Amino acid sequence: MATNERSSAEETAEETGVLIAGAGIGGLTAALALHAEGVRVTVIERVRRITPLGVGISLQPHAVRELTRLDLGDTLAATGVPTAEQVYADERGGRRLAEAVGVAAGYRWPQYAIHRGELQLLLLDAVRQRLGPDAVRTGTSLESFAEERDAVRVRVTDRATGTPALVEAGALVGADGARSRVRAALHPDEGPMCWSGVRMWRGVTEMAPFLTGRTSVIASGERNVQLVVYPISARRPLLNWVCAAPEAEPGALVETAGWNREGSAADVLRHLEGWDFAPLGLDIHALITGSQAVFEYPMVDRDPLPRWGQGRTTLLGDAAHPLYPTGANGASQAIVDARALATELAAAGGAVAGGGVASGGDVAGALARYEAARVGPTGDVLRANREMDRSMRGRVGGDPVAAITERYRRTTGGDVTTVNAKA
């Protein structure tokens, strides 16, 4: 199509201030944060029905701070478990170290363990209540986008009917996950994801709490196998567990490595043979075999990018910086991204504030400032997660656990002093 010609669909394009691709934790938090700053937002999501999928995650105090600013503190408290201690153990349940976390460690905000799907749904409910029932368009696929002088023109498709449509937005935010279409369009030559060589199995089991009821256990075995267990629900006795085992040298993620496929309890128990958590009040066999489902993942990330987007388009959350789960920081960094994005775009004014696409406002400059604020810190977190994984598995160093965890908090800005200073 010639640049001076437009189809009838283009002539009737919908307009919005910011279009967010992806209704995950990062995208929905960004929608709430932008709306609170007076920015008009539309969210599109590929799946037709958002259901509480996934397993447990941790929200660090710096993320809970931002969600509390969005008036979600009470809802979080009614949903998740405020973790009070983290116990590092061996494969026989012997304690190597116990650390206070969250409020018990002096933070002004709790650290919550929560079911990822429940967190996503409470964010979705808040978006629909505050922005309107049509603010999130499910079953809508982003096909392509192109920037013009005053807008990003985004082609989308209704996946149920195959009907195409066009949206003009003052800015486009790719919050569409680790295998982001927006990122692939912006960085087409990036190549496959980086595989740590570690395979993970994850599940959620209905089982009574252990120890304090607010304890997270991270256990390491002689074969560099790890098992993490923690409660995730204020409403039901649910334990989240993750088993991680090295099975290859680090390298590119190949097709045979798989992704988010159904696993088996037998595969997990094979790696935990001889383990015994009786001293911790946990029955490992019952924990694994009683899981509602077992999911299998390769532990992957991507090398940090020097820039995420260009012009009026940027990335957020896993689309910008997929992280190892080591450090329990992935969702938290997406939430901090959302706050930084909202702050900069609100300051830009004109092209995104209030209604639809309008003249004025330095959107590209605002997105450049957002990236300048977040590319460096998230790159530090990514590298720190890699280092922590190697250190905790005994592949490098040999430092005591306390030294490893303290170095991680300091490097990533998650120490008490830094977090509490950002009221």
- Write out the CATH class of domain 8-191+303-421: alpha beta
Which helix (H) or strand (E) is 27 found in, with range?
helix 25-36
Q: What's the confidence (pLDDT) of residue 258?
A: 55
Bridge partners, 291 (sequence order): 205
The identity of residue 244, as a single letter, is A
Position 11 scores a pLDDT of: 58
Mean pLDDT of 63-73: 98
- Which pTM was predicted? 0.93
Give the pLDDT confidence of 120-166 residue by residue, as tens digits.
999 999 999 999 999 999 999 999 999 988 899 999 999 999 999 99
User: What's the one-letter identity of residue 130?
Assistant: R
- 303 within 8 A of 384, measured Cβ to Cβ: no
Of the pLDDT bands very low, low, confident and very high (cuts 50, 70, 90), residue 12 is: confident
Residue spans of the domains in the chain: they are 8-191+303-421
On the question of pLDDT at 340 being above 90, the answer is: yes
| Overall average pLDDT of the 219-245 stretch | 95
Q: Find the radius of gyration of the CA atoms of the chain.
A: 22
| Residue % of the chain over a pLDDT of 90 | 80
First to last CA, the chain: 51
CB-count exposure of residue 211 (10 Å: 0-12, 13-18, 19+)? middle
6 pLDDT band, cuts 50/70/90, is: very low
